[in-house]
Amino acid sequence: MRVLGIETSCDETGVALYDTATGLRAQALHSQVELHTVYGGVVPELASRDHVRRLLPLIEQVLGEAGVARTELDGIAYTAGPGLVGALMVGAAFGRSLAWSLGIPALGVHHMEGHLLAPMLEADPPAFPFVALLVSGGHTLLVDVTDVGRYQLLGESLDDAAGEAFDKTAKLLGLPYPGGPQLARLAESGDPSRFRFPRPMTARPGLDFSFSGLKTRVLLEVNKHKEAGTLTDATRADVARGFEEAVVETLAIKCERALAAQGRERLVIAGGVSANRRLRAVLEARLAEVGGEVFYARPEFCTDNGAMIAYAGARRLEAGAHEALAIVTRARWPLDTLPPLEEYA
């Protein structure tokens, strides 16, 4: 089954072609970073308009690289939520219209299910069951996964997501947009022992997260050094490293708790923050000590992309999923409300 995947949930236009018989055939991605940099963040209206400009050329590029004609497609999957509604509508309207013209099914895919299943695109994918840490700019979730569509929410962020905290802290340090990756690079040259920031909600039981207080603690430290005239490049790097260490250790502690509570040995990390090298290194080391394994996608499939949507859509379409012609997008969409594949039989 050849499925075209379309991702337009925020500020990246992603398109990919996935074949259930041969795997990923081609994929392309356009980032809007340059467009939004001048504003210091994503402008929803500009994001939507840029998706309109980029989507068709990217589809033609992917089909050309795969050597597949539109008439050879068997289905189309598009991101239906969560995300920016205007941006979602671009991909949804285009995907549904193209599918209708070709007489093939189209399916709205949950953005976070796409991230969760992205490691399945790798040569050594994780086997079910496992615990997944979905960590991005908009979400921080711990989920017990027993199969595609069988998700139990274990914990989530009560305020800022981890990626959002990275971006906001980067802004406090005067780093350009997008801040998260910039902060991670700056942290590589920082002293991990100079600043010891709190590990939020790790001294109490439970699997929920909270990063707003950590961000405030960093703000107070930065302001103190600004007033004293000591916010040097070295201090900024040390603050970045201290912040990163706090987030990474918090995530690691919660992941270990979740694995122990569910009796799992496999951990999947997915979403934009899963590309963080320090997070990967710490989780790999800590799980190796207890005989566990960590799985993640290659960096290009950690951020938003069409390949993960094509794969997630293909799994559901192949199982018999179908939807009416009405276009439905969701700014918010709980992951654990998705049906398991056997419900389509």
* CB 184, CB 299: distance < 8 Å: no
Pairing of strands 75-81, 23-31: unpaired
Q: Which domains does the chain have, with CATH numbers?
A: 2-117+301-344 (3.30.420.40), 128-296 (3.30.420.40)
pLDDT in tens, 229-279: 999 999 999 999 999 999 999 999 999 999 999 999 999 999 999 999 999
Q: How many of the other CB atoms lie within 10 Å of CB of 196?
A: 10
330 and 80 in contact (C-beta within 8 Å)? Answer: yes
Q: Is the dihedral angle over the CA atoms 284, 285, 286, 287 positive or is it negative?
A: positive
Question: Which of 51, 37, 105, 58 shows the shortest CA–CA distance to 83?
Answer: 51
For residue 272, the 8-state DSSP code is G
- Report how far residue 142's alpha carbon sits from residue 255's, in angstroms, rounded to the nearest whole number: 8
What's the confidence (pLDDT) of residue 125? 96
Q: 15 with 7: CB under 8 angstroms?
A: yes
Torsion of CA 194, 200, 202, 205, to 10 degrees: 170
80-114 residues labelled b (16+ CB within 10 A) or e (exposed): bbbbbebbbbbbbbbbbebbeebebbbbbbbbbbb
pLDDT digits (tens, 9 = 90+) for 290-331: 899 999 999 999 999 999 999 999 999 999 998 988 899 999
Please say if the pLDDT value at position 181 is more than 90: yes
Residues 6+ apart with CB under 8 A from 131: 142, 143, 144, 145, 154, 255, 258, 259, 262, 264, 266, 267, 268
pTM: 0.95
Token digits of residue 22: 């041969």
Q: Would you say residue 137 has pLDDT above 90?
A: no
Res 138 pLDDT > 90: no
Rounded Cα gap, residues 162 and 173, in angstroms: 17
3-state secondary structure of 200: coil
